[in-house]
Amino acid sequence: MTPAPDDELVFLPLGGSNEIGMNFNLYGYGPPHARKWVVVDLGVTFGDLTTPGVEIIMPDPRYIEDYADDILGIVLTHAHEDHIGAVGWLWERIPAPLYATPFTAFLLREKLRDAGILDEVDLTVVPLGGKIELGPFEMELITLTHSIPEPNGLSIKTPLGTILHTGDWKIDPDPLLGAPTDMDAIRRLGDEGVLAMVCDSTNVFVDGRAGSEAEVREHLGALIGSLKGKIAVACFASNVARMDTTIRAAEAAGRRVCLVGRSMHRMAAAARSVGLFEGVQPFISDAEAGFFPSDSVLYLCTGSQGEARAALSRIASGDHSHVSLGKGDHCIFSSRVIPGNEVGIRNMQNKLADRGVRLYTERDHPGIHVSGHPCRDELKEMYQWARPRIAVPTHGERRHLLEHAAFAADLQVPEQVSPRNGDMVRLAPGRATIIDEVPAGRLYLDGGKLTGSDDEPLKERRHAAANGVLMVAVAIDGKGRLSSDIEVRSIGLPGDDDAPLEDLLDRLADAAEDALKRLDKEARDDDERVEQAVARALKKLSQRLWNRRPVVETLVVRV
Render 178-233 in DSSP notation, one character per residue. SPPP-HHHHHHHHHH--SEEEEE-TTTT--S----HHHHHHHHHHHHHT--S-EEE
Contact 515, 537 (CB under 8 A): yes
Cis-peptide, bond into residue 429, ω within 30° of zero: yes
Residue 395's contacts (CB-CB under 8 Å, 6 or more residues apart) are: 16, 17, 20, 23, 168, 199, 200, 201, 202, 373
At residue 352, the pLDDT reads 98
Residue 174 to residue 113: CA distance in whole angstroms:
35
Residue 248 to residue 70: CA distance in whole angstroms:
48
List, in sequence order, the alpha helices (H) in 253-386: 262-273, 286-289, 311-317, 342-354, 376-386
Residue 510 to residue 464: CA distance in whole angstroms:
23
At residue 273, the pLDDT reads 93
Residue 15's beta-bridge partner residues?
Answer: 24
Q: Tell me the angle at which helices 262-273 and 102-114 cross, rounded to the nearest 10 degrees.
A: 130
At residue 208, the pLDDT reads 97
Query: Which H/E stretch holds residue 36?
Result: strand 36-42
At residue 213, the pLDDT reads 92
pLDDT along the chain (559 residues), means of 10: 92 96 97 96 86 86 96 97 96 98 96 96 97 98 96 98 98 92 97 98 96 93 97 93 94 96 94 92 95 96 91 95 96 88 93 97 93 97 98 97 98 98 98 97 87 76 87 90 90 89 93 92 90 94 93 91
Residue 426 to residue 341: CA distance in whole angstroms:
36
At residue 34, the pLDDT reads 95
At residue 154, the pLDDT reads 98
Q: Which amino acid is at 547?
A: N
**Domains within the chain, CATH numbers bracketed:** 9-208+371-451 (3.60.15.10), 213-365 (3.40.50.10710), 468-558 (3.10.20.580)
Contact 372, 341 (CB under 8 A): no
List, in sequence order, the alpha helices (H) in 210-324: 213-225, 240-252, 262-273, 286-289, 311-317
Residue 424's beta-bridge partner residues?
Answer: 436
Count, in order, helices (H) and strands (E) of the chain. Answer: 17, 27
In residues, how long is the chain? 559
Residue 164 to residue 166: CA distance in whole angstroms:
6
Q: What's the sign of the alpha-carbon dihedral 270, 275, 281, 282?
A: positive
Q: Which amino acid is at 464?
A: A
CA angle (81 as vertex; 269, 325 as ends), nearest 5: 65
Q: What is the pTM of this model?
A: 0.87
* Nearest by Cα to 96 from 127, 128, 64, 126: 64
Contact 170, 210 (CB under 8 A): yes
